[in-house]
Structure 1
Amino acid sequence: MTLKVALFEPEIPQNTGNIARLCAGTDVELILIGKLGFSLSDKYLKRAGLDYWEYVTLHKVDTLEQFFSQFPDNIYEYAFLSKFGEKYYTEIPLSDNIITIFGNESSGLPEMIRDRFMDRLYRIPMNDKIRSQNLSNSVAIVLYDILRRNNFGGLF
């Protein structure tokens, strides 16, 4: 199984650094889509990822169109995470090639994505007291559930 995490226009370098560290420790590729709210040389990004950046397989694409072109849905199973999803993240189907796609910290995924891929929107259950979970926590929750269901994909 090939598993990738994609972040759409992430804004907070510490979140992206934490996610990069998670990806390094699980052999999961990281895709950054669109405009970033920080520089890839940002000191907070580097500190959050510690000295693990060399172990991250990182792809940067400039637009959603470029993402869809480089990672087409006839090859990859897309799983978009959104508070608007009607299915739980535990229902993400296991396939040979999965990409979990997360929106940014302030506005989530674009409405166009939510409309186009409504059948592939998944959510993390939570009460109505908060707007959303922290991005890096959300990625960890979803990523480790998929890995668990795949017997941790050779991790030890």
Structure 2
Amino acid sequence: MSKLNIVLFEPEIPANTGNIGRTCVATGTRLHLIEPLGFRLNEKSVKRAGMDYWEHLDVTRYINYEDFLAKNPGAKIYMASTKAPRCYTEVQYEPDCFIMFGKESAGIPEEILLENQETAVRIPMMSEIRSLNLGNSVAIVLYEALRQNQFSQMQLEGHLTKYDWK
């Protein structure tokens, strides 16, 4: 079964990673964390943001970017960055692709972006704004990738608890 993959390059804020972890559980997406992390994964703030979903998260840690590449050879990796030349809606996301986001303070290093310029994407925003919150950015791009893949294996219809829809 194919799964989308979210990659966080050296995340710094535990609450963002916790929220992203919860989003990954809710969407059946794998989470990949490239060290160094700006926090310990056992911190209360990570678990609080991920709530009781964290134990269900499919998460892999890597000691650095080179370790990530070595353990995922041939992976299609989209680089989400405010510096990217193309909008995130202008690409076709494969069912098992990786979407990488950089650390909160600096994003993905420019040398990595240059090596991957064909797959670098951005979320449009006003020029006066440096960036969106990392958790929001992940959700925006991830849900576009899920939409393009027909929300594969996701529940598409909600149900009321006390009533039936007419």
Quickly name the TM-score band, shorter chain normalised. Answer: over 0.9
**Deviation digits for residues 75-127 of structure 1, max 9, x if unmatched?**
x2110001111111112323242000000100000122011111111000001
Counterpart AA for 1:14: A
Query: What is the aligned partner in structure 2 of residue 52 from structure 1?
Result: 53
| Residue aligned with 1:48, SS | helix
Query: What is the aligned partner in structure 2 of residue 147 from structure 1?
Result: 146
Contact 2:3 2:28 in 1 (8 A): no
Query: What is the aligned partner in structure 1 of residue 65 from structure 2?
Result: 64
Higher strand share: 1
Which stretches of structure 1, 4 residues or more, deviate above 3 A after TM superposition?
Answer: none
Contact 2:7 2:98 in 1 (8 A): yes
Q: Extract unaligned runs of 5+ from structure 1.
A: none
Larger radius of gyration: 2
1:39 aligns with 2:45: no
Q: Distance in 2 between matches of 1:144 and 1:11?
A: 23
Contact 2:10 2:36 in 1 (8 A): yes
Query: What is the aligned partner in structure 1 of residue 159 from structure 2?
Result: none
Number of aligned residue pairs: 154
Counterpart AA for 2:106: S
Query: What is the aligned partner in structure 1 of residue 158 from structure 2?
Result: none
Counterpart AA for 2:42: S
Query: What is the aligned partner in structure 1 of residue 10 from structure 2?
Result: 9
Query: What is the aligned partner in structure 1 of residue 160 from structure 2?
Result: none
Q: Distance in 1 between matches of 2:93 and 2:79?
A: 14
TM-score, normalising length: structure 1: 0.95
TM-score, normalising length: structure 2: 0.90
**Deviation digits for residues 61-83 of structure 1, max 9, x if unmatched?**
011000001112x2x21100011
Counterpart AA for 1:144: Y
Q: Shift of the alpha carbon at 1:55?
A: 1.3
CA RMSD, Structure 1 to Structure 2 (Å): 0.9
Q: Distance in 2 between matches of 1:133 and 1:94?
A: 21
Query: What is the aligned partner in structure 1 of residue 132 from structure 2?
Result: 133
**Deviation digits for residues 24-60 of structure 1, max 9, x if unmatched?**
1111000000200000011101100000012110000
Which aligned pairs between 1:80-119 and structure 2 lie closer than 5 A? Answer: 80-119=79-118
Contact 2:92 2:148 in 1 (8 A): no
Counterpart AA for 2:83: F
Q: Shift of the alpha carbon at 1:128?
A: 1.1
Contact 1:79 1:92 in 2 (8 A): no
Q: Distance in 1 between matches of 2:149 and 2:116?
A: 24
Contact 1:13 1:42 in 2 (8 A): yes
